């Protein structure tokens, strides 16, 4: 499997480390607008500053799109049209129109397309689902708090969607994967700056609380906070069912514990879900089975629709219905 990387920033470096561990996978080329960045990551592979040139000259079997959200459509749709498999970083896009174009291109293509919401690939999710089988989920409580690298596009709400799209959308996606469709949302932001109380500052919120009204009548909440370097971090999800109270620890360890139906539940993931997401994508591409990826473009577009409704709720203060796809 000959693989190319588009965008040689933070997440690309993590994916390159994963690719190097996989059998029969060769990193053939890296593209970044900044050639020096591409070279730092390439380790002997070819480098490009124009993604279209990489596709034409290298004809990779698969690419990993690791660029900021506003570029996702431009890079992904032509690759899918050329029959190249695409692992696209989350969020699927900045806006719904771009997301729909990617979903449509993936639907027309025989290539495999996965979106990088890697928490769908957490091994202990299977244990969690099994533990609550037959129960209704009443409350999901997500915490997503910790430091993150500042990048120019992340600080600009119109480019990156701030902490809502960049970070909280991981929890939105996970809560949808477990709790089902979201029909309406509410949200509020803190006016106090945390990470941005020092150093670079943009127009995004540092902390917010989100409420997801689930189609089954249950409620999902997410507290998201971007904090200063050096402070502790916390990523977790509590799941309360009619006869279950389970705690899922997220990042860097993925552990499940709690009680359900009178049973003590304990499970630990062995493999990092990000690595699992990439290796499952490569496997699905090899086997030509798009449905095997953990997060499909359609699933990621559904998550984006919820995140964009949250963005509207933040600015209006109202309860915003989520359009059905």
Ligand X SMILES: NC(=O)c1ccc[n+]([C@@H]2O[C@H](COP(=O)([O-])OP(=O)(O)OC[C@H]3O[C@@H](n4cnc5c(N)ncnc54)[C@H](O)[C@@H]3O)[C@@H](O)[C@H]2O)c1
Nearest distance from C-beta of residue 307 to ligand X, angstroms: 12
3-state SS string for 226-279: ECCCCCCCEEEEEEEECCEEEEEECCCCCEEEEEECCEEEEEECCCCHHHHHHH
Nearest distance from C-beta of residue 273 to ligand X, angstroms: 9
133 secondary structure, DSSP code: T
Alpha-carbon distance 194 to 148, whole Å?
Answer: 12
Nearest distance from C-beta of residue 135 to ligand X, angstroms: 29
Alpha-carbon distance 151 to 131, whole Å?
Answer: 40
Pull the structure tokens for residue 250.
Answer: 């997220």
Nearest distance from C-beta of residue 8 to ligand X, angstroms: 5
Give contact residues for ligand X (rule: CB under 6 A): 6-12, 31-34, 37, 51, 66-69, 71, 89-90, 116, 118, 151, 166
Nearest distance from C-beta of residue 88 to ligand X, angstroms: 8
The secondary element (H helix, E strand) that includes residue 61 is none
| Residue of 258, 280, 297 whose CA lies nearest to 124 | 258
Rank residues 11 and 188 by Cβ distance to ligand X and give the closer one: 11
Of all residues in the shown chain, the one whose CB is closest to ligand X is 9
C-alpha pair distances (Å), 82 with each of 60, 111, 171: 10, 9, 33
Nearest distance from C-beta of residue 211 to ligand X, angstroms: 23
Nearest distance from C-beta of residue 5 to ligand X, angstroms: 9
Rank residues 117 and 128 by Cβ distance to ligand X and give the closer one: 117
Inter-residue contact 187 to 203 (CB < 8 Å)? no
Rank residues 109 and 169 by Cβ distance to ligand X and give the closer one: 169
Q: If DSSP codes are grouped into helix, strand and coil, which group holds residue 138?
A: strand
| Residue of 148, 182, 181, 141 whose CA lies nearest to 166 | 148
Rank residues 155 and 219 by Cβ distance to ligand X and give the closer one: 155
Q: If DSSP codes are grouped into helix, strand and coil, which group holds residue 115?
A: strand
Nearest distance from C-beta of residue 12 to ligand X, angstroms: 6
In degrees rounded to 5, what are phi and psi of residue 319? -95, 120
Inter-residue contact 257 to 37 (CB < 8 Å)? no
User: Length of the chain in residues, anyone?
Assistant: 325
Rank residues 114 and 131 by Cβ distance to ligand X and give the closer one: 114
Rank residues 137 and 284 by Cβ distance to ligand X and give the closer one: 284
Rank residues 151 and 228 by Cβ distance to ligand X and give the closer one: 151
Rank residues 131 and 301 by Cβ distance to ligand X and give the closer one: 301
């Amino acid at each position: 499997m000959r693989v190319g990387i588009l965008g040689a920033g933070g997440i690309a470096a993590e994916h390159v480390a994963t690719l190097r561990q996989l059998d029969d996978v060769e990193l053939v080329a890296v593209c970044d607008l900044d050639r020096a960045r591409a070279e730092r990551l390439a380790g002997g592979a070819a480098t490009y500053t124009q993604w279209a040139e990489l596709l034409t000259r290298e004809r990779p079997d698969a690419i990993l799109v690791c660029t900021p959200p506003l570029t996702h459509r431009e890079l992904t749709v032509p690759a899918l049209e050329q029959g190249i498999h695409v692992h696209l970083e989350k969020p699927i896009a900045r806006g719904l129109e771009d997301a729909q174009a990617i979903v449509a291109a993936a639907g027309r293509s025989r290539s495999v397309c996965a979106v990088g919401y890697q928490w769908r690939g957490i091994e202990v999710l299977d244990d969690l689902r099994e533990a609550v089988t037959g129960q209704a989920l009443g409350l999901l409580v997500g915490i997503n708090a910790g430091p993150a690298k500042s990048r120019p596009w992340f600080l600009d709400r119109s480019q990156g969607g701030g902490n809502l799209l960049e970070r909280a959308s991981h929890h939105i996606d996970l809560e949808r994967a477990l709790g089902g469709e979201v029909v309406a949302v509410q949200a509020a932001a803190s006016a106090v700056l945390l990470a941005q109380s020092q150093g670079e500052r943009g127009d995004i919120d540092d902390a917010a609380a989100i409420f997801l009204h689930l189609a089954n009548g249950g409620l999902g909440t997410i507290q998201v906070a971007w904090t200063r370097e050096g402070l502790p971090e916390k990523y977790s999800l509590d799941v309360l069912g009619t006869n279950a109270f389970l705690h899922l620890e997220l990042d860097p360890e993925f552990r499940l514990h709690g009680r359900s139906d009178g049973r003590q539940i304990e499970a630990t993931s062995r493999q990092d879900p990000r690595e699992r997401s990439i290796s499952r994508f490569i496997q699905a591409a090899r086997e030509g089975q798009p449905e095997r990826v953990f997060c499909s473009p359609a699933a990621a577009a559904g998550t984006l629709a919820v995140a964009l409704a949250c963005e509207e709720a933040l600015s209006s203060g109202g309860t915003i219905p989520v359009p059905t796809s």
